[in-house]
Chain A
């Protein structure tokens, strides 16, 4: 079962190493991991998607909490979170196919980030599911390169961790 953990950490060198080391040492599987600084430059937020059962998640949370630089850990419930991922995808495009691809962009809300005579580079920020659908729609046009950020997430409503 996929679960989303939001972790606030001191923005210090080596913390990412400690977190990924912890996951590999305790044999927890990471699906994706996204890191960025928060409104407080001394604090980073790490969003980790883990594939595991509930009892294991409890250990993941507890072990993360033991790391000295970890300030807060919270597992976000799926129906109570807003999750977004960014994808950049470079797809083959010529005069014939370009308008079809643009239709997909319009339908999904993707934007054109770059254009060349033989390609389009598109960007889309959405839920991981919808990004996967977008990717599937583009596959017939031959994807040259693709990069996904992994999901970042916050709680719905006014609550915060």
Chain B
């Protein structure tokens, strides 16, 4: 058995069913072995970065580690943004890169790059394999490390000669035991008791839930915690869709781009229970100020997150699912009282407030509200980065669906490849992409992957012919020169692009047609591009 065959055999034993990749010379032996493994599906991307985003989308709806495989040099460096995007959102991923022959490492030969060195700052771990006999162990460790504790991307760099090397014996370890890697699972009982006491004593408690709740598969536990204690819930961007938008305890997203009353709830709280979130700058601008006014409980699997951005009065290290279960064993029912009623009142007002409209243009908030009403209960909505993301965070109504976006790194172009990953895993699931004309042009080459697989992805494209969020920032007094370098002049006619890929499309500029256009898109067969003309002056503050 060769190293390449051992790799594919190990991937099968790690229950890999699908991979995203791009072939090149130094990964050819592995690709050849993959060709003989019909159990593992394969999607050819159009640029390597998107293999990372597809693997991310795939994981986020299945809970199965996403796998991508690319060649050395430029293949590996193109994948870097995909790896960094996954790292910032704690997405488990195994990335396999080809490498030049091991005896030529360091000679700067054709398509050589030190990829393990390059990804060190934003990968959970990496391996440069120098003996094919190590491959089964390395693969098993990589999946274990990627998927346990705080998840993250792990890279395996495989020189071509190692892929060709004959193994002495193939042994895939059934269990991985690393003495230096033992993530905590359960929360400390003493700390759990302190949290329970704090909740019982609080007058104005708020739960702030983040992406860590999804990562720990603790959506049900969170819901039970909130419903039993009637504590209002705000989420970070990565926590959006943990609760249905209209759930009576859901106060929306906090942060600079969040819902007004989510921020007010946090600001006025006397107990903030942070669960699986790291409150970066976009979520809480001045953590030190907030910590002075309110008591903070911080529950996270990664001890380094506790106290990094925000000092916690009661830190609890453990897996979110286990910790909430521990809390539920001790917590009694309590009522939300006046605090909750007040917040609910304001929340309803915010969700139904009138939105602006301009003749000849679509206001994205209006479209997103209408779209939310029409989506199937479990729809997956992949949202890009820029104004489209903020509008979707504020206005898109979701039932039991998933909201997927690049929250940490803010990688433009994430939405379409993420949707491909979703669709590969769950072809029947309604999948919608929300993007702008800037972000769409960063990954619209993946329409080829969509067409090749005959996928059914509905794409809503907000076209305002500018990089809207930067335009918005440049229009503030901080930048006296005003908007510069943000015009998207030269963009193609997107309907012709869609036609070229054989994708149905429609251009929409009249809000009166909005309902009918959304119905047409959602009931169409196959993929669909809905191009919405948006006025360049429409902002996320509207």
Contact = CB atoms under 8 A, between A and B. Distances in A.
Interface of A: 9-10, 13-14, 17-18, 21, 25, 55, 58-59, 62-63, 65-66, 68-71
B116 interface: yes
Interface stretch (B90-98, B119-127, B270-278): B119-127
**Most chain B CB neighbours (cut-off 10 Å) among A9, A18, A25, A55:** A18
Given A14-B116, A59-B304, 11 more contacts: A9-B180, A55-B307, A58-B307, A59-B308, A62-B308, A65-B303, A66-B302, A68-B124, A68-B145, A68-B180, A71-B180
B97 to A, nearest CB: 15
B304 A63 contact: yes
B121 A62 contact: no
B479 interface: no
B128 interface: yes
Nearest to B116: A14
Contacts of B180: 9-10, 68-71
A152 B270 CA distance: 47
Contact of B304 (A10, A17, A25, A65): A65
Interface in B96-138: 116-117, 120-121, 124-126, 128
Contacts of B303: 62, 65
B481 interface: no
Nearest to A21: B120
Interface in B489-533: none
Contacts of A59: 304, 307-308
A53 to B, nearest CB: 13
B190 interface: no
Contacts of B117: 17
B178 interface: yes
Interface of B: 116-117, 120-121, 124-126, 128, 145, 178-181, 302-304, 307-308
A18 B145 CA distance: 16
Contacts of B178: 68
A13 B126 CA distance: 11
B181 A21 contact: no
Nearest to A55: B307
A17 to B, nearest CB: 7
A58 to B, nearest CB: 6
A18 B120 contact: yes
A71 B180 CA distance: 4
Contact of B181 (A13, A17, A63, A68): A68
Contacts of A21: 120-121
Contacts of B120: 17-18, 21
Contacts of A71: 179-180
Contact of A62 (B116, B181, B304): B304
A56 B25 CA distance: 45
Contacts of B121: 21, 25
Given A10-B180, A17-B117, A68 B307 contact: no
A97 to B, nearest CB: 47
Nearest to B130: A13
Contacts of A55: 307
B102 to A, nearest CB: 12
A94 to B, nearest CB: 46
Nearest to B180: A71
**Most chain B CB neighbours (cut-off 10 Å) among A9, A62, A66:** A66
A17 B126 CA distance: 12
A14 B128 contact: yes
B475 to A, nearest CB: 33
12 contacts: A14-B126, A21-B121, A25-B121, A59-B307, A62-B303, A62-B304, A62-B308, A65-B303, A65-B304, A66-B302, A68-B180, A71-B180
